[in-house]
Structure 1
Amino acid sequence: MKLASCEEMPSIRKFFHLKNNDLTTVTWAQNVYNNRFFQGALEENVMMMEGSVTLEQRRHDPKNPIPTMYISTRKGKKIRKALGMTLQHLLEMVVDAKSVGVKLNFNQITVFKESIKVLQAMRKEWDQRVLIVYPGCAPCSLCLPPCLAGRQKPSHLTGGIRGAKEVRGEEGDTSGRVTLSCHHPYINKLSDSRAERERESSVLGSQPVRLGVDRRVQCVDQRVQCVDLRVQCVDLRVQCVDRCLCIAGHRSVSCAGQIKFPLWLNADTDDMEDKDIDKFLSLCTHNFPKATISIGMLHKGQKFGSEIGYDAKLVTQMKDTLTRNNDATFGKPERRIRSSS
């Protein structure tokens, strides 16, 4: 069942249309860290996917670790991490599913800081234009975000001109990019020559693009004539040297705000210092004010003082922590045994 929302980071209540706003009816899948677990949860019509995030170090680029889903496995007295899909891949699958939300667990502030980059990239607003190739011009191909390329009519080629760093392919495409081409009679031009840009601007009233700077295109009257233009698309990672690139259309398309599902950010605070917990809450409220936020009861070095439930000290600690960071929706943790009143 598709529950796609137009609202960014909708609440669990709104997204799933819960009867009487009863959150106890929400179904969960825990330790979702690979494709098999995710697909299995979808088949069971689970509402919320929960998984833990860590950083995977890459040998060829150790300075830029990748936020990756994992599950802890125990072998004797040793606890090991089994790594799965990347956080970005999980979020993309949630976007495609259109029927689930996600809860992400972080046990280190450094992991959360790196994950913010991935989450923010999902929200990034791309300035898109309708890209076309005029009949008679040399064919041109570009790497395009599939979220747009797969939804346009055959007569349109849609994509961003800012690069292909966040591009992923459609099903079956292992190249990591989508290549399309098409034809349309209305064109504008893309130039890298300053003199040519100035001349064209005076004639066409256009604002051509300069490589290495802002690649947004100022569309002009569509009744302009096609002019052959050679352009080198280095940043797009495709070989477009000595090809004619034509651009047309007044319609701007955006794939911004892809986090249109419930997002829950949780800090496993058992090994986190107080300052890191405050930093986590501060980063959450600053970057994701619409997300649900939660933290654990225990801080680093603490243990439960009672087998019955939370003692007064822990409850007061939680209250004080949330009071210092009270700008968002919080979830309170509950032990499986009952809490003391």
Structure 2
Amino acid sequence: MKESGRRILVTGGAGFLGSHLCERLLAQGHEVLCLDNFFTGNKRNVAHLLSDPRFELIRHDITLPLRVEADEIYNLACPASPVHYQRTPMQTTRTSVLGALNVLDLARQCNAKVLQASTSEVYGDPQVHPQPEQYWGHANPVGVRACYDEGKRCAETLFMDCRRQYGTDVKIARIFNTYGPRMHPEDGRVVSNFIMQALAGQPLTVYGDGAQTRSFCYVDDLVDAFIRLMDSPREFGGPVNLGNPEESTMLELAQRVIALCGSASDIVFRPLPSDDPVRRRPDISLARSVLKWEPRIGLAEGLGRTIDYFRRLLDDEQPVREHSLHGQ
């Protein structure tokens, strides 16, 4: 547990991951500055925190310099789903690269520790399975996903160079697929897609033959890992894989979501998107040994909580839709 009273900046703090992190940090007694430009974040995700005097919400684009005081910085600012990061690919790269430079400059000015939320996408379509941190990856630098993959790879380079050149206390987290409440219902990620389709009684869309795999980590487990990484010794900067090594095929996931939703949805198959990785599973040996961390929430429990969230979200929106229809 950290000592209380730290002033902590979370960029991308109104997003899916960021909002859960802000919530946890406030619960630990810290002062939290939540920064977001609301491109993919939503004020609704942090609305319940606004009455806390230790919480401050700032609208700002991290591609522009920022001047605040902070003891620690979690840099989570960047669209993380293919639907969002491919919509404005040059801005995605700009957010990863200029955002990293700006938070590193701020960290140096404040003498703050700074954590970079990187991604398993740095491994591309891996030829090594599971993926250890020592693996350099197999990524397409000119493909449709490169704005995100290469932006995050460059951000990691900047963080490590800042550590070597200036001695900044940096931490790099390579995040594997994470899910849970507050995911954007239209972010195009497989868990939210499947749940929304199943709850609507629509066919679940599986790409390829459904044999490709992912490993899904529940958001509470990931937040635990973030905080343990930030608290780790100065000499440990990562990169470190953070994810759940339990591997599922897309077809298995679709069938499980249908069952948990009590849905009668069918499954339809569509062509595999360009550069979509075939297998993805983290080797978390380093996180286990250094951070003493591993996921605790299994897929069935985590999916149940996430399905409950989307059900409530749809119930809340139903009166709004009905009012709109009556008003036409």
Q: In which range does the TM-score fall when normalised by the shorter chain?
A: under 0.3
TM-score of the pair, normalised by structure 1: 0.22
Which structure features the higher share of helix residues? 2
Give the structure-2-normalised TM-score: 0.23
- In our comparison, the structure showing a higher alpha carbon Rg is 1
